[in-house]
Amino acid sequence: MPLTAMTDKKNEIHDDEFRVIGKPGVTTAPESGKWNLVWIILAIVAAIGILLVVFWPKTKAESQETAVSATQFDLEPLGVTNDRTFTERIDTLVGTVQLAVYLPHNATPVLTADVPSGSDIILAARAADVRADNGKINEAFVCEGRALAFGMSKKGYCAILGGEVTIGVAADSPLFEEAVESGGYFFRQYPLVDNGTLVENEPKNKTMRRAICSRAGQIFIAVSETDESFHDFAQALVEFGVENAIYLTGGHASGGWWVGPDGTSRPFDPKARTGIYENETYILWK
Amino acid sequence: MGKFIVISKGTEMLRIPPERLVYISADGNYSDVHTLDGRPQMVSYQLGQLEDMISDQLGDEGSSFIRLGRGYIVNMEYVHLIDISQKRLVLSDCECFYQELEPSREVLVKLKAYLDATYSDD
């Protein structure tokens, strides 16, 4: 076959495409074709949606509520049932984001405003951000009922009241006062997921991301095994079924560890530095 | 005589037993052919043209070769490690040959899914 005749249909391949030579049927369709189809389907769905809004508004509202409820209750709980105290690690791939999910079993969460120690800790991760210049905690922070900081610029919050974790998004949450009055815990961070919806944030850099998440009544920490943007990490959490999530201080300069069923303590990131600030805040389970 | 992949052009001819061809990497209008002896050979064909040659010369037996994006043709027999998080594909015969490639993460996801399905069918 002359060389000129062999051009270059075969070179029309995307970098994300894969095909088996000798098996013409085994291939992944080019993304553009797939997206064209997706856009057509989205356009049809949007048109139907507009018609429903215009002609049948009550039905739309009712059906939305039903859909949300069905999603929430269809999710299977993660992990094993066990009466021992340990952290279970579950690895999952969501799109191209590899997530490690750390699910504490039979342990109670608390916050600390220093680097924690103790053999009873089975899961620990840095929580609120600390200023690099003066070592002070950036945002509202309550530890055992003591309010240590009061900032409110980050809208995501996590409250621990009577051992129960509540994650949410609000500019001003009464749970701060409840934490102070009841000897509980409270901190603020970037919101990532609010009632199953991705929340966009300003920082655009990529690094190892961490979050505290609620999903089907379970609370866990999710860590990206790869460097991700806020957006891609939050999107992966949404696709994983997370209902609410806020960021935990992450990056490769953050400590944190987990104790598996064999009793061995392992860091999230073996290369992480710890103790670099005067105050480090941690959420931990013991 | 066993089957060979024959890459011939002008005054040169390259003959390779298919089972000893580990991978081919693209280099603009040229390609580097990597065999088990660890001595890559540059050929003046584009990857798509070599893909055609493998398909024409080996037919169904060419199905152990896969095209990974714009950058590589890989012999699946030598896929040793797929690490999506680190974006690594290691090709090795677990003896003499060891080479790390960096295809896109998306293509690694698809390759792993394909191999998972292949081995679960077995």
Predicted pLDDT of residue B121:
61
Q: Distance between CA B35 and CA B33 in Å, rounded? A: 7
For the stretch A261-284, what's the b/e string if a residue is b when 16 or more beta carbons lie within 10 angstroms of its beta carbon? eeeeeeebbeebeeeebebbbbbb
Contact A283, A114 (CB under 8 A): no
What are residue A265's DSSP bridge partners?
A259
Q: Does A4 touch chain B (CB under 8 A)?
A: no
Q: Does B91 touch chain A (CB under 8 A)?
A: no
For the segment B87-99, the average pLDDT, to the nearest whole number, is 92
Instruction: Supply the pTM of this predicted model.
Output: 0.56
Q: How confident is the model at residue B1 (pLDDT cuts 50, 70, 90)?
A: low
Q: Does A6 touch chain B (CB under 8 A)?
A: yes
- Indicate whether B79 pLDDT > 50: yes
Most confident of A28-32, B14-18, B61-65, B82-86: B14-18
For the segment B105-116, the average pLDDT, to the nearest whole number, is 88
Residue of higher predicted confidence among A35 and B97: B97
- Closest A-chain CA to B85: A226
- Indicate whether B55 pLDDT > 70: yes
What are residue B7's DSSP bridge partners?
B14
Which chain A residues are within 8 Å of B69, Cβ to Cβ? 13-18
Predicted pLDDT of residue A57:
47
For the segment B63-74, the average pLDDT, to the nearest whole number, is 92
Q: Does B114 touch chain A (CB under 8 A)?
A: yes
Contact A213, A123 (CB under 8 A): no
Contact A128, A139 (CB under 8 A): yes
- Closest A-chain CA to B106: A16
The ipTM, to two decimals, is 0.85
- Closest B-chain CA to A98: B85
- Indicate whether B42 pLDDT > 50: yes
Q: Distance between CA B85 and CA A96 in Å, rounded? A: 8
Closest CA to A143 of A176, A173, A168, A172: A176
Q: Would you write out chain A's pLDDT as a tens digit for each of its 286 residues?
A: 333 334 445 557 777 788 888 776 666 644 445 555 667 777 788 778 777 766 554 444 343 333 333 344 456 778 777 788 999 988 888 888 889 999 999 999 999 987 788 889 999 998 988 776 667 888 899 999 999 988 888 899 999 999 999 999 998 889 999 999 999 999 999 999 999 999 998 777 888 899 999 998 999 999 998 888 899 999 999 999 999 999 998 777 667 889 988 888 888 877 665 545 556 889 999 9
B:9-68 residues touching chain A, CB 8 A cutoff:
9, 45-49, 51-52, 54-56, 58-63, 65-68
